[in-house]
Amino acid sequence: MPTSTSPDSIKERSTQAAVAIRELIGKGMRPPRAGVIIGSGLGAVSAAMTSPSVVEYRQIPGFATPSVAGHRGRLLAGDLAGVPAVILEGRYHYYEGYTMRQVTFPTRVLAELGVEMLVVTNAAGGLDPAFRPGDIMLISDHINLLGDNPLRGPNEDGLGPRFPDMNGAYDPDLREAARRVAAAEGVELRHGVYVAVSGPNYETPAELGFFRTVGGDAIGMSTVPEVIVARHAGLRVLGLSCITNRALAPADRAREGVGAMTVTHEEVLAATASGAAKMARIIAGVIGEMAR
Ligand code: HPA
């Protein structure tokens, strides 16, 4: 049974990765206070970071090369709104075949680098009939329907508790800050519950009906593993979804008078373009408040 001192312990591997990142970036690297994980097509969010140092994922021990279109696979270190931060451009998805531990390894490395706050972003389908492509949803809570959990298996007590609490997983103060920043920036912010499924297929109409009935407002194939691990590690989390398509339950579809609801990956990426700029402003604003 792996323990926190065995060579394959997550603690040990994330420490090695953090050491490698600090070496690759060099003396100029200030200890990051915030980490940001950028979702599908949302690379424009990193434009908010001025003259970052760049490390390719393949240079970092323990990271694999992401495979899906729209993901670049590089780590950016620099300042976001005057606060030292790290941006992870590209995430590992469960549907790509990675294990939950591989999916969440970068989050462990962010924790090891010393970040206090994690911002997670994603592209998601809108289950709430009021949502439109390009909208930004502040995640208030999640429902894990991935059928797996990154904390399954022996617990490394040095990383966090065996049974972490998930109340307030999406930090109430950070949510309040996001609302404040959005209002000041004139960005309309939706809010709701994110449902995570494994994918890679988009949902059947009956599934959308189920996800809406159980309380979902947006649906996607990521984020929840990283949030579970971030909470296990004691990080404060802010989650933002870019709504890329309407994913309406049959009953809502009938009420809204919309026909068949097909969705393609290209359509999802196209809709992130308008959302990414809004997200960048909210993220910079919330992280900037850490400097005060
Ligand atoms: N379903 C699941 N994941 C998604 C969707 C969707 O409709 N849109 C973007 N990611």
Which pLDDT belongs to residue 29? Answer: 86
In 184-261, DSSP assigns E strands to: 189-197, 218-220, 236-246
Which pLDDT belongs to residue 162? Answer: 96
Rounded Cα–Cα distance for residues 97 and 77 (Å): 28
Report the nearest-CA residue for atom 10 of ligand 1.
124
Separation of CA 283 and ligand 1 centre (Å) = 22
Query: Coil, strand, or helix at residue 146?
Result: coil
Residue 129 burial (CB count, 10 A): 16
Burial class (CB in 10 A: 0-12, 13-18, 19+), 135: buried
Q: From the centroid of its chain, how far is CA 210?
A: 24
Separation of CA 37 and ligand 1 centre (Å) = 17
Return the axis-axis angle of helices 172-185 and 265-288, rounded to nearest 10°. 100
Residue 203, ligand 1, Cβ within 6 A: yes
CATH number of 10-289: 3.40.50.1580
Which pLDDT belongs to residue 257? Answer: 87
**Tens-binned pLDDT, residue by residue, of the chain (292 aa):** 444 455 579 999 999 999 999 999 997 789 999 999 998 777 777 888 888 999 999 899 999 765 654 446 899 999 999 999 999 998 899 998 899 999 999 999 999 999 999 999 999 999 999 999 999 999 999 999 999 999 999 999 999 999 999 999 999 999 999 999 999 999 999 999 999 999 899 999 999 999 999 999 999 999 999 999 999 999 999 999 999 999 999 999 999 888 877 787 777 777 888 888 899 999 999 999 887 7
Which pLDDT belongs to residue 70? Answer: 44
194 DSSP 8-state letter? E
Residue 275, ligand 1, Cβ within 6 A: no
Residue 43, ligand 1, Cβ within 6 A: no
Separation of CA 286 and ligand 1 centre (Å) = 26
Q: Measured from the CA of 221, which atom of ligand 1 is nearest?
A: 3
Catalytic residue set: 40, 71, 93, 95-96, 123, 221-222, 245, 265
Q: Measured from the CA of 263, which atom of ligand 1 is nearest?
A: 7
In a mutational test of the pocket of ligand 1, which residue from 93, 142, 198, 244 has the highest number of ligand atoms less than 8 Å from its CB?
Answer: 244
Residue 202, ligand 1, Cβ within 6 A: yes
Separation of CA 115 and ligand 1 centre (Å) = 29
Residue 247, ligand 1, Cβ within 6 A: yes
Residue 127, ligand 1, Cβ within 6 A: no
Torsion of CA 292, 34, 79, 289, to 10 degrees: -20
Which pLDDT belongs to residue 155? Answer: 95
Residue 220, ligand 1, Cβ within 6 A: yes
Q: Where are the domains of the chain?
A: 10-289
**Do 239 and 194 touch, CB atoms closer than 8 A?**
yes
Considering the entire predicted model, what is its pTM? 0.93
